[in-house]
Amino acid sequence: MESNITIKKAVLHILDNTGGVSVVSDKELILSAEIEEYLTKHIDKCFLDIDVKNTRFIEDENAFLAGVRAYISGGSFLELSKSIAEDFITAMEEGSEIPSADLVVVEFSIDHVPYLGVLKFNYKRSYIHFVETENGIRNTIVRQPCALPLETQKLEEFALVNLNDYSIKLKERFYEIKGDKTLYISREILKSKGAISEKGVVDMVEKTVKKIVRDSYENDLLKYNAFKNTITEDYINNQEINIDNIAESTFEDESGRQAFKEELEKTGLRDSRIKISHNAEKRVLRKQKLVTDTGIEISIPASYLNDSSIVEFINNTDGTISITIKNIVNVDNK
């Protein structure tokens, strides 16, 4: 994906929430090869981030959206970036928990689709050497409190606005504003609709299945295995989570299926089929870790859970469970 990203222009603003002074830039960044590479790598990571929420603006009286539209109609990119920076500064004045950062507002394209990126580079602690020269030379180590995330690290907060259809890819965190924990980027700055990330969807469905199986089916391991097998197959074959398929394969009785769907609706998940991108692959296909009451831990790939030629789960008449691992050629001691 990196090779398809083209940086067009960018502005960097300094957001200080530690009692210092925020600095709003009057000029665009000079896009050297190093800066362009740094931004490109982070933008690429943003598109691959499983914590991204896909959402849209709330249209009514939306100052952020109006500013974006004004820019598209010929307005100043610099002034748009300043307005966005001021929105973050205002939020910081009301929320002491919001971390200080360098805010990069960037226009770029990916696969020829234009985007406005709002990238918040929250500061990281790092350490550098320092040479003391008083009464001779002494090399020491000092903390650098305002280091930017490395190219290999994920950003904690960002918004990517598609300038063709105004859809938004958003990653944000809860911070305290006026005494309440809130998602300040979506609610205070973007004025965008609520949404759940792909990671949130996968985790919520799995958590709901576990709750129903635990509360109503005495933690029946075979039911959970059926769920893992179904969610894996639906993802591999259709890149989706199919709630009806999960309900049918996991719960034989109608009461269990209904309880599962009702619990999901309480979380805000009402769609019966939810499209999931390749970003969620590791989350969906991750190994299932089983821990017995005797302390034995077993980690099994999701695709093997219903393959009785590899692993078999047997419900014994005395209420215990036997797990048989079959056809082993080699065992490594790790």
Please give the span between the terminal C-alpha atoms of the chain, in angstroms, as a whole number.
35
Q: Does residue 163 carry a pLDDT above 50?
A: yes
pLDDT at 304: 80
Query: Going by DSSP bridges, is the β-strand pair 288-291/321-325 parallel, antiparallel, or unpaired?
Result: unpaired
pLDDT at 3: 54
Residues 101, 121: contact at Cβ < 8 Å?
A: yes
- pLDDT digits 0-9 by tens, 6-43: 999 999 999 999 888 999 999 999 999 999 999 999 99
Q: Of the candidates 149, 189, 162, 151, which has an alpha carbon nearest to the alpha carbon of residue 58?
A: 189
**Cβ count within 10 A of residue 152:** 8
Residues 185-201, mean pLDDT to the nearest whole number:
94
Structural Rg of the chain based on CA atoms: 25
pLDDT at 110: 96
Identity (one letter) of the amino acid at 332? D
pLDDT at 302: 74
**Cβ count within 10 A of residue 126:** 12
Residues 250-279, mean pLDDT to the nearest whole number:
91
Residues 166-175, mean pLDDT to the nearest whole number:
96
Residues 131-141, mean pLDDT to the nearest whole number:
93
**Cβ count within 10 A of residue 201:** 23
Sequential DSSP letters for 41-102: HHHHHHHH-TT-EEEEB--TT-HHHHHHHHHHTT--HHHHHHHHHHHHHHHHHH-TTSPPEE
pLDDT at 59: 85
pLDDT band for position 2 (50/70/90)? very low
Q: Lowest-pLDDT range, 56-60, 101-105, 159-163, 285-289? A: 285-289
Query: For the chain, how many helices (H) and strands (E)?
Result: 9, 16
Residues 276-296, mean pLDDT to the nearest whole number:
85
Residues 6+ apart with CB under 8 A from 114: 107, 108, 162, 163, 164
Residues 284, 235: contact at Cβ < 8 Å?
A: yes
Q: Does residue 174 carry a pLDDT above 90?
A: yes
Distance, in Å, from the CA atom of 99 to the CA atom of 24, rounded to the nearest integer, reads: 17
pLDDT at 1: 42
- pLDDT digits 0-9 by tens, 71-115: 999 999 999 999 999 999 999 998 789 999 999 999 999 999 999
Specify the pTM: 0.82
Average pLDDT, the chain: 91
The residue ranking higher by pLDDT, 256 or 19, is: 256
Q: Of the candidates 204, 202, 206, which has an alpha carbon nearest to the alpha carbon of residue 275?
A: 202
Range of 15-24, 63-72, 142-151, 263-272 with top mean pLDDT: 63-72
Q: How far is CA 154 from CA 114, 178, 183, in A?
A: 22, 28, 19
Distance, in Å, from the CA atom of 89 to the CA atom of 86, rounded to the nearest integer, reads: 5
Q: Does residue 334 carry a pLDDT above 80?
A: no
Residue ranges covered by each domain of the chain: 2-190, 198-325
**The dihedral of CA 133, 137, 141, 146: what is its sign?**
positive
